[in-house]
Structure 1
Amino acid sequence: MGDKLKLYGFNNLTKSLSFNIYDVCYAKSSREQKDYIAYIDAQYNSDRLTGILSHVVEMIGAKVLHISQQDYDPQGASVTFLIAEGSMIPAGQDAVVAHLDKSHVTVHTYPEYHPDTCLATFRVDIDVATCGEITPLSTLDYLIGSFDSDIITMDYRIRGFTRDMEGKKLFIDHYMTSIQNYISEETLHRYDAVDINIYEANLFHTKMLIKEIDLQNYLFNTDVYELPPRTRLAITDSLRCEMIEIFSGRNVY
């Protein structure tokens, strides 16, 4: 963010980061698909998701006001944090938090499987909405590393305006060209990344697709050496086709 801007009054800019990840897995039978869904559901239950969001809130320097979490039957979980910038919380038991109590962090999980292709997909949606000087972009490497991310789509939008000391409207309070600038080179090296940005609207979109497929990492309860070479190739092609369709957002094959 650099040096703080000198503003006339409060920073009314709202910054929203939408972060979606997809993890694809091959499970050779309907039973294994269901076992995979159960495994993912247990690994990323609401308690673990709460821990991940707690660290996100700590990273952006906000303060937790309220936490709501829920696990679902047959699968999935949701967690919502109501947050505020620490400096905006007034002293006193009866005081009311203003402005930034509208900031929040949410996560929702969507495990699912395709009965005809032996593929299962785990989707996670995370939204971080902040107001004022807080920006959620610094959390991207942590969020990517917290999940097995094969396909990632990210949207960052700045809304509203604030004013400088001369009264000039400011529609953005930090220099911004791409979401990729806030992701480490080490992380970016593992993905093919594409930007679609609308600078005049302060709207930034980046999507990323994993470059290399290590087949063993995508097999559930199966060792890669148990499979003949042609089967390995067919599974790899099936995984790549699924990833490309999710990445492109359309049915290609």
Structure 2
Amino acid sequence: MVAKRVSKNSKGHKSSKHRRRPKLKLRGFNNLTKTLSFNIYDVCYARRPQARKEYLEYIDEEYNSERLVRILTEVADIIGANILNISSQDYDPMGASCTILIAEEPVDPKPDQVLAHLDKSHLCVHTYPETDSKSGVSTFRVDIDVSTCGKISPLKALNHLIESFESDIVVIDYKVRGFTRDVKGRKHFMDHRLHSIQQYIKKRILDRYQCVDINIYQENLFHTKMRLKDLDLDQYLFSINADDLSAEEQQHIRTVLEQEITEIFYSKHIF
């Protein structure tokens, strides 16, 4: 559900019912840790072994460590973070990863300070290409974690991350940990209103997806799963076109893809 706009009364002023709460006056640093975790899946059908091999080579090169660094650097810019350190790696035979340490304010850390900062504010991404020779389906999974402390919110990067990858299925977790104190010494376990991760996703993106929320509000834990509503076969085929296939072949491939996507979406073996 997308958050509604603030209602206004007849005089053009915001009604008191929806009036924005004043900002918290904190005692020192905001100690809340906010972590946004993604699983993004791209699903593809490649009929022949050579085509599956070529798909894995293509996706591995398309999202190599250099590309991942660019994406996470853009994320850091979007959320207003300062980059402390960048580490990236391509793996043999396939896969890549990137980790960026960030801070709310510009700093010039020493090596030991960088290590101490790792568990607080960082961006990291890992890729996992794989293929199933029996069904002909190949999947490309991207795991992304954006963890921040202070005023920086990782939720600002939601739309950019979804659109940076070929996102057939998106699984998102958001957790706020710890507490911070105001000037009166009162503890606050949440510093922003949130009823669904979908509040931060653009409508034009949400319109393309079927979405499910599982939220535990008292634990400040939010979970959203998304899958594309429409299965355009040509968007899932590698090295072949739907028009080159018979109606029976198209239906078979569509069924295989639907089953694969459904099992990934529900995280269980169904078919």
Q: Which residue of 2 aligns with 1:236?
A: 254
**Aligned pairs (5 A) from 1:26-175:** 26-86=45-105, 89=107, 102-175=120-193
**Amino acid paired to 1:134:** I
Are the counterparts in 1 of residues 84 and 114 from structure 2 also a CA contact under 8 Å? no
Residues matched between the structures, number: 251
Are the counterparts in 1 of residues 172 and 225 from structure 2 also a CA contact under 8 Å? yes
Secondary structure (helix, strand or coil) at the match of 1:219 reads coil
Query: Post-superposition shift, 1:2?
Result: 8.0
The runs of 5 or more residues in structure 2 that have no matched partner are 1-19
Query: Post-superposition shift, 1:29?
Result: 1.2
Distance 1:127 1:98 in 2: 17
Are the counterparts in 2 of residues 85 and 100 from structure 1 also a CA contact under 8 Å? no
Identity of aligned residues (%): 53
Matched, 1:211 2:234: no
After superposition, the CA RMSD in angstroms is: 2.1
TM-score, with length taken from structure 2: 0.88
**Amino acid paired to 2:103:** A
Distance 1:20 1:221 in 2: 26
Are the counterparts in 1 of residues 101 and 114 from structure 2 also a CA contact under 8 Å? no
The one-character-per-residue Cα deviations of 1:49-80 (angstroms, maximum 9, x if unpaired) are 10000000000101111100000011000000
The one-character-per-residue Cα deviations of 1:178-217 (angstroms, maximum 9, x if unpaired) are 0000001110000100000000100000000110011011
Distance 1:19 1:6 in 2: 31
Distance 2:55 2:218 in 1: 44
Are the counterparts in 2 of residues 161 and 172 from structure 1 also a CA contact under 8 Å? yes
Query: Post-superposition shift, 1:21?
Result: 0.4
Are the counterparts in 2 of residues 216 and 224 from structure 1 also a CA contact under 8 Å? yes
Query: Post-superposition shift, 1:98?
Result: 11
TM-score, with length taken from structure 1: 0.94
Deviates more, 1:100-109 or 1:140-149: 100-109
**Amino acid paired to 1:48:** R
Distance 2:101 2:156 in 1: 19
Secondary structure (helix, strand or coil) at the match of 1:86 reads coil
Matched, 1:25 2:33: no
**Amino acid paired to 2:174:** Y
